[in-house]
Amino acid sequence: MEPYLGLHYPASDIPSQARELYRYNWLRLIADVSYQPAAIIPTDSPLTQHPLNLSTSVLRSVSPMHIQYLKNMGVASSMSISILKNQQLWD
């Protein structure tokens, strides 16, 4: 873990949509960057007939771009914890 000590990542590395999710989902776990996403069936809620909203789900998939980012860093898994100040992500 020593190679990662002291590293800093600019806020611009996290797209605005992902930053917004981090405000509500304070803990993000990716157990294995080589996972294969599973399809959700049905894709629409039978009660509302609208697409399921998995924004706050722990089991939600991750952007393929983020997975590639992690692979480029040479990591096999990751855990992110949101730190908020005044209800915004702390930069």
For residues 9 and 76, give the distance between their C-alpha atoms in angstroms, rounded to a whole number: 19
Indicate the pTM of the whole model.
Answer: 0.73
pLDDT digits (tens, 9 = 90+) for 30-67: 999 999 998 888 999 999 999 988 888 888 888 899 89
pLDDT digits (tens, 9 = 90+) for 7-36: 887 888 888 888 888 888 889 899 999 999
Q: Are 56 and 6 in contact (CB under 8 A)?
A: no
Q: So what's the pLDDT on residue 50?
A: 94
SS3 assignment, position 50: coil
C-alpha dihedral (10, 14, 19, 25), degrees to nearest 10? -110
Q: So what's the pLDDT on residue 6?
A: 84
Sorted by where each starts, the structural domains of the chain and their CATH numbers stand as 14-89 (3.30.450.40)
Q: Are 89 and 11 in contact (CB under 8 A)?
A: yes
Query: Which among 87, 34, 74, 39 has a CA at the least distance from the CA of 59?
Result: 39
For residues 25 and 19, give the distance between their C-alpha atoms in angstroms, rounded to a whole number: 10
Q: So what's the pLDDT on residue 30?
A: 93
